[in-house]
């Protein structure tokens, strides 16, 4: 992988990281405002509860993606980015363009998912 490609992936990762951090912050504010809302009946309480639970689920997924991005950025600084953690072969550029925080090539990803 060229230095130019690595820099492009770094920029993609940093942009996505910023988006996630903003979304997490917005969701936390939304959840806080929901919990402060007075439920006037069981239907309101159920709606608030469901919305809050969905918000927490989304928040958890975003935090997991954020960790993956942080790890990918670490790998860039460590000069190990774009190398499959299982077979140690280069991860295809096309795969990295779809998921820049990918840790495995396509073949190894399938093996990991099956295990």
Closest CA to 85 of 98, 69, 101: 101
Residue 111: pLDDT above 70?
yes
Average pLDDT across the chain, whole number: 87
Q: Torsions phi, psi of 41, nearest 5?
A: -155, 180
91 vs 55, higher pLDDT: 91
Task: Identify the CATH number of the domain in which residue 79 sits.
Answer: 1.20.120.910
User: What mean pLDDT is predicted for residues 38-59?
Assistant: 66
pLDDT for the residue numbered 59:
84
User: What mean pLDDT is predicted for residues 43-65?
Assistant: 74
Q: Which residues constitute the domain of residue 41?
A: 3-114
User: What mean pLDDT is predicted for residues 47-59?
Assistant: 69
Residue 52: pLDDT above 90?
no
pLDDT for the residue numbered 102:
97
Contact 106, 18 (CB under 8 A): no
Domains of the chain: total: 1
pLDDT for the residue numbered 46:
60
And the tokens for 32? 């806080």
Q: C-alpha distances in angstroms, 4 versus 10, 41, 61, 89, 101?
A: 10, 58, 30, 20, 17
pLDDT for the residue numbered 48:
59
């Amino acid at each position: 992988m060229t230095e130019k490609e690595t820099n492009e992936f770094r920029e993609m990762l940093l942009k996505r990281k910023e988006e996630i951090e903003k979304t997490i912050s917005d969701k936390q504010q939304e959840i806080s405002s929901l919990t402060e809302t007075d439920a006037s009946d069981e239907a309101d309480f159920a709606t608030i509860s469901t919305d809050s639970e969905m918000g927490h689920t989304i928040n958890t997924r975003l935090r997991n993606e954020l960790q993956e991005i942080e790890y990918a950025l670490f790998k860039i600084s460590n000069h190990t980015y774009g190398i499959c953690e299982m077979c140690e072969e280069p991860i295809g550029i096309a795969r990295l363009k779809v998921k820049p925080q990918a840790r495995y090539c396509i073949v190894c990803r399938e093996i990991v998912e099956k295990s």
